[in-house]
Amino acid sequence: MIAEVVAFTGHNGDRIEGYSARPTAAEPVGSVVVLHHAPGLDFWCKEVVRRFAECGYAALAPNLYHRRGPGHWAEVAAAARAEGLGKAMPNDQVMGDIAGATDYVKSQPGSNGKAGVIGFCSGGRQAFLAACDVPALDAAVDCWGGSIVPQAPDPTKPNAPSRGVIHRAPDMSAPLLGIFGNDDTNPDPKQVDDIERELTRLGKEFEFHRYDGAGHGFFATDHPHYQQAQAVDGWKKVFAFFDVHLQSDAS
């Protein structure tokens, strides 16, 4: 495995840094763009990147807070959250960065020409939107992305996004996998029902998996909501999905 910090061209031609890992095997492999959660590109997200490389994928996690300035990832992420994720990461900017990351991974010598995206928390919402906005993607995984359906403003979270992105679902072109915890509050089970109902109505290719006894962030080993059994099964679902959609040469 080779893991390193790389740079690629993002939205508006901006230079964006990201954490990359890839296997050393000679045969071409599929690629995965990993979208970090609200805490930022932290140790766990980098572990996720290396997990994909260990399992035979090239992976890149763009630092979506990169424009907030240099510094330790935790300080940069804190500044972005204080500003408000909607302001720090407007949708068009994030989609441009994801498109740039997708182009980058597909252009690498070891690529088989296919790329997917996976996101967690805020990154899950962004992965859902990318499935509708970035046509170069071959698959997308939304892990408990909140605020996909419109939310009533929460006075305790004045900087949280409230406008949903479900209205973009007619444009969805990539198959979607959703992973959710039934104890989560954003998205709660009703919100997941609403998303599922709309995707079914539109005839989109998707599959959702929901886990009892799991809340928000239940994959993250350093998170208080980590649930081992549910996370292990969820990861099996993720790799089975990507194996189908990414691990064969693009025709």
Contact 86, 79 (CB under 8 A): no
Residue 250: the pLDDT is: 63
Q: Is there a domain that residue 12 lies in?
A: yes
Three-class secondary structure of residue 102 per DSSP: helix
The pLDDT of residue 29 is 97
Q: Tell me, yes or no, whether 251 lies in a domain.
A: no
Q: State residue 155's pLDDT score.
A: 59
CA atoms within 13 A on the CB side of 212: 0
Domain that holds residue 164: 2-246
pLDDT at 69: 76
pLDDT at 212: 98
Q: Could you tell me if 5 and 19 are in contact, meaning their C-beta atoms sit under 8 angstroms apart?
A: yes
What's the Rg (C-alpha) of the chain?
A: 17
The stretches in the chain having pLDDT less than 50 are none
- Per-residue model confidence (pLDDT) at position 219: 96
- Provide the token pair at 33: 């763009």
Structural domains counted in the chain: 1
pLDDT of the residue at 70: 77
Per-residue model confidence (pLDDT) at position 161: 55
Show the tokens assigned to 135. 């046509």
Residue 39 in any domain: the answer is yes
Burial of 56-85, coded b for 16+ CB within 10 Å and e otherwise, reads bbbbbbbbbbbbbeeeebeebbbebbeeeb
Query: Can you give the CATH number for the domain in which 86 is found?
Result: 3.40.50.1820
Measured CA distances, 112 to 28, 31, 95, 248, 251 (Å): 5, 8, 23, 7, 10
37, part of any domain:
yes
Q: What is the pLDDT of residue 85?
A: 76
pTM of the predicted structure, to 2 decimals: 0.93
Asked if residue 223 is part of any domain, the answer here is: yes
Longest pairwise C-alpha distance within the chain: 53
Give the pLDDT of residue 152.
62
